Amino acid sequence: MPHKPRKRFGQNFLVDQQIINQIVSTISPKKNDHIIEIGPGKGALTFPLIDYLENIHVIEIDRDLIALLQKKNNIKITIHESDALVFNFDQFKQKVRIVGNLPYNISSPLLFHLLNYRDNIIDMTFMLQKEVVDRIVAPPGSKVYGRISVIMQAFFDTELMFVVPKESFDPQPKIESAILYLKTKKQSLVQNSKPLEEIVKIAFSQRRKTLKNCLKLVLNQSQTDIDLSQRAEMLSVENFVTLMNDYEKQN
């Protein structure tokens, strides 16, 4: 009996072989790579990848899909029945590469979860809603530059690789997708992500207001060299790191 995509898991299965080949080419898997795939689904990406690998670890929450993968009896595939949002990515002894067609409904929380394991991650290649990818790679001054742009760019080199048309999926989603590449920076701009997340969240809490108004309860102009008459979207990632350092001095 064919698997029926489940809305609660945000399932849209990739069925376009040309796009699959393009994603595999972008990942460029090497034999000794330790790759973890989030949400393998029916294995559209999994099986082309294992042609290049000694093994692959996959994280899947849907038991029916796990059963489908198990029926293949492929000894190269290690299946973890888990919710990726609570999965411990530090359990692997070697540094890992993470890939996947991420469900749109958990993409942002999942990226923030993965941020906690960045020291163990070489890079990540994800299919996401194009709108989310645009926000992640956005430069300062852009209308879509915001909290997720600053946080991801502080710890990763970010790049939109290519757009994936709706017709590449079954069922067909209502929105466009894109392939996002995240490479962990050799030297993070900050060591601890939490204070940065705090100040960025406050700064972007009211986008139309100046930083002076947004930050008035935690920081004033005499406590920082950053011009607080600006709006948050005008600050570079480096500016936010300065702002974070000044914020930490007050707390």
Burial class (CB within 10 angstroms; exposed 0-12, middle 13-18, buried 19+) of 175? exposed
Q: Is residue 1 part of a domain?
A: no
**Count of domains observed in the chain:** 2
83 is in an annotated binding site: yes
27 with 143, same domain: the answer is yes
Q: Is residue 160 part of a domain?
A: yes
172 with 224, same domain: the answer is no
- Domain boundary (141, 157, 184) is at 184
- What CATH number does residue 207 fall under? 1.10.8.100
* Residue in the structure block whose two tokens are 């530059």: 145
Q: Is residue 48 part of a domain?
A: yes
101 is in an annotated binding site: yes
Q: Is residue 115 part of a domain?
A: yes
177 with 68, same domain: the answer is yes
DSSP assignments along 98-164, one per residue: EEEE--GGGHHHHHHHHHTTGGGEEEEEEEEEHHHHHHHHPPTT-TT--HHHHHHHHHEEEEEEEEE
Taking the C-alpha atoms of residue 200 and residue 175, their distance in angstroms, rounded to an integer, is: 28
138 with 159, same domain: the answer is yes
> Is the four-CA dihedral 161, 167, 169, 173 of positive or negative sign?
positive
Q: Provide the domain limits for residue 207.
A: 193-249
14, 31, 46, 193, 242 from 76: Cα distances, Å: 21, 12, 10, 35, 46
- Domain boundary (140, 157, 184) is at 184
Q: Is residue 43 part of a domain?
A: yes
163 with 214, same domain: the answer is no
Q: Is residue 2 part of a domain?
A: no
- What CATH number does residue 110 fall under? 3.40.50.150
97 with 156, same domain: the answer is yes
Taking the C-alpha atoms of residue 11 and residue 125, their distance in angstroms, rounded to an integer, is: 18
- Whether 36 contacts 58, CB under 8 Å: yes
Q: Is residue 91 part of a domain?
A: yes
177 with 197, same domain: the answer is no
Q: Is residue 207 part of a domain?
A: yes
pLDDT for position 192:
87
67 with 105, same domain: the answer is yes
- Domain boundary (184, 204, 235) is at 184
Q: For each of the chain's 251 residues, which pLDDT tens digit applies?
A: 444 444 444 457 788 999 999 999 999 999 999 999 999 988 999 999 999 999 999 999 999 999 999 999 899 999 999 999 999 999 998 999 999 988 888 899 999 999 999 999 999 999 999 999 999 999 999 999 999 999 999 999 999 999 999 888 877 878 899 999 999 999 888 988 999 999 999 999 999 999 999 999 999 999 999 999 999 999 999 999 999 999 999 87
97 with 36, same domain: the answer is yes
180 with 219, same domain: the answer is no
12 is in an annotated binding site: yes
146 is in an annotated binding site: no
Q: What is the pairing mode between strands 121-129 and 177-184?
A: antiparallel
160 with 85, same domain: the answer is yes
204 with 81, same domain: the answer is no
60 is in an annotated binding site: yes
